[in-house]
Structure 1
């Protein structure tokens, strides 16, 4: 990138909202000026200290549970890797200039995981909006016991929010289940390709409410001595993406039977994708395996390159014939195509981006990780079945916190 270097520490401090960073043990590691001002604490009084040491619950009021609720939320984010938008919370904050004097405050927090390059949760980002004045103004107009009125209102709003969230969770969970069944029904079952075995794997993202549009396909053409192998990824989530995936997979499967090669098959698919709503920017890669001539002919529409592991353990990526995603060109044009030889005992691996991409990490790092894992397992067990190799790759490459994107994988022994 040729633009100006971004000082992210300066950006963090300049954020207008109150934001703090904590370790998974709930120790403050940084906070911007807005957070320090809102909390009434200096940097020395905050950084490096445990949450409850800085902000204990009011020992004189058992109903003041804001900090305990915050702790539960942060621990949930650390464990699940999912953001948590909390209901409005009441916090009693001790006045440092008057020990024993507690100020009634109302904050609206959002807690977000910050991931390490390997996908695990490394830090917790805690963003807060203060609504104390608004809450007190509303309570004052009501009259009566101010504290009881506010507590009752907060409890009612929190219950309403929980009920809405639960209904949304169930609706999304149902959609996810339907989409997974739809994907399973539309994706082909693994099968033997003559004397050659193939393993396919599909892994949905952990904790995601919606599945994505990843797919794979194997088209065996024994009359020509070839097999067409493909993977693709539809942009979007849920039932719509799964439906688009089914249309595109079926179209590519049909085109593969009659096309001269992968470039022509993807060309037909690209034209078809222009007529399918939601198919914009879909990526796909197709490889034709010629078993008689021991060659791989391949073409890619914006997709990550397949990996070819040679018998000696070296890995090359099939990246010499890449076009933009389907339908991305303003005018139709034939796609590129390349060919490379293979030796008996090689292994071909096709995959979607969920297998290697990680937040905040360069794509080349993920490709190197895949190549290293593939070479290591193939060298250690050169005669291992593709099923064994596919499982070993997933075990190596899926981060401890689970996949953040759906993943499709094909492994074929050549």
Structure 2
């Protein structure tokens, strides 16, 4: 089942608006518009406090000031903020007439993949009638009944959403497992693969890994990639790109050409734009690694002497992200027996509120600490255990470890 989240947003029983970091309306659902007494055209694209200024006739009115403080706190602290406040609203039917209204609001940050706040979720519920009912002689009983009814409705909605999200996650995980089997043995070469799904019901992503035995000499191609997005759509795109790169690697002259062909293919696959990938051709007989990256974190080479090198000399934009097609770069590095090559996706090293260089440093430190481990399986386990916390992370992680 594919969930239409735009439709879900509009159908939410709670009133929700989306604000850009400059507090301009990006969208609002039907419940929010009904509650505010405005049309979508009257709010979207407008600064919040231009669309809903404070009551100019009441010098004691503080609703706008309190709401702005709450929203600024969300942007500064990157955390949810809640408030109960009076915020008078100008009547849409009687311009110049201000109605005394009370609101319970919840403001929460919505993070972009790179960790910055893309939007602020502004959920608001009018509680004017509840407060007025509580002030009447029998108000406490009415208030209790109303709160119970609303809590029950909210629980039912949350439970329906939870079940729907769980179904989609299970289907996407099954699809991803089917498309990411453990590769069969490739000659006498030793390798290990790991895949760890993200935590959370909606965070199945489009990460992949692949190993292919090349046809000329003692060579293999190793690749990992990461499709933008989550769920069934991302998993499906991942399968297409993984298969295309695997086939292309068999006939390409090198990793750069393989990514160039994949780039052209990605242009024809809806949703494949901005996918990152890196592929390395390992020539065991000549002790060479040739690699090329499409906007992906660099492979890491653990040499036999215990030193670590980031293979970052051949990086280009992600797939289908450049305005014009051009030859992709590739670089070659010599290796000696006893080394190990790691390719991985960003779930291994990227954390919210943490610079990517910190994650790369933690990875290299882990490799140095475990350099004495003798098998790819043992090293893969050590890397995952050291870098993936027990509670999991919010992005998928794919890892390939190859002994050289």
Residues 305-341 of structure 1: CA deviation (Å, up to 9, x unaligned): 0000001110001100000000111111110011001
SS in 2 for 1:410: strand
Task: Give distance in 1, aligned partners of 2:126 and 2:376.
Answer: 58
SS in 2 for 1:219: strand
> What is residue 222 of structure 2 aligned with on the other side?
229
Could you tell me how far 1:403 is from its partner in structure 2? 1.4
Could you tell me how far 1:18 is from its partner in structure 2? 7.3
> What is residue 131 of structure 2 aligned with on the other side?
136
Listed as ranges, the matches of 1:11-410 within 5 Å are 15-17=68-70, 107-109=104-106, 131-137=126-132, 139=133, 145-221=138-214, 223-378=216-371, 380-381=372-373, 384-410=374-400
Could you tell me how far 1:190 is from its partner in structure 2? 3.2
> CA, structure 1 residues 168+259, in 2 after alignment: closer, same or farther (shift >3 Å)?
same
Task: Give distance in 1, aligned partners of 2:149 and 2:73.
Answer: 29
**Contact 1:198 1:412 survives alignment (8 Å):** yes
Task: Give distance in 1, aligned partners of 2:185 and 2:391.
Answer: 33
Could you tell me how far 1:245 is from its partner in structure 2? 0.3
Residues 239-277 of structure 1: CA deviation (Å, up to 9, x unaligned): 000000000000000100100010000000000000000
Could you tell me how far 1:232 is from its partner in structure 2? 0.2
> CA, structure 1 residues 19+166, in 2 after alignment: closer, same or farther (shift >3 Å)?
farther
Residues 162-219 of structure 1: CA deviation (Å, up to 9, x unaligned): 1111111111111111101101111132333222111000001123423000000111
> CA, structure 1 residues 362+147, in 2 after alignment: closer, same or farther (shift >3 Å)?
same
Task: Give distance in 2, aligned partners of 1:350 and 1:17.
Answer: 43
Could you tell me how far 1:154 is from its partner in structure 2? 1.8
Task: Give distance in 2, aligned partners of 1:408 and 1:350.
Answer: 8
> CA, structure 1 residues 188+265, in 2 after alignment: closer, same or farther (shift >3 Å)?
farther
Task: Give distance in 2, aligned partners of 1:243 and 1:403.
Answer: 22
SS in 2 for 1:17: helix
Could you tell me how far 1:402 is from its partner in structure 2? 1.7
**Contact 2:376 2:402 survives alignment (8 Å):** yes
**Contact 1:18 1:35 survives alignment (8 Å):** no
The TM-score normalised by the length of structure 2 is: 0.70
Unaligned runs of 5+ in 1: 1-12, 22-29, 40-104, 120-126
Tell me whether 366-375 or 215-224 shows the greater mean CA deviation: 215-224
The TM-score normalised by the length of structure 1 is: 0.69
- Give me the CA root mean square deviation: 3.2
Q: How many residue pairs get matched?
A: 311
**Contact 1:208 1:404 survives alignment (8 Å):** no
Could you tell me how far 1:149 is from its partner in structure 2? 2.2
SS in 2 for 1:270: helix
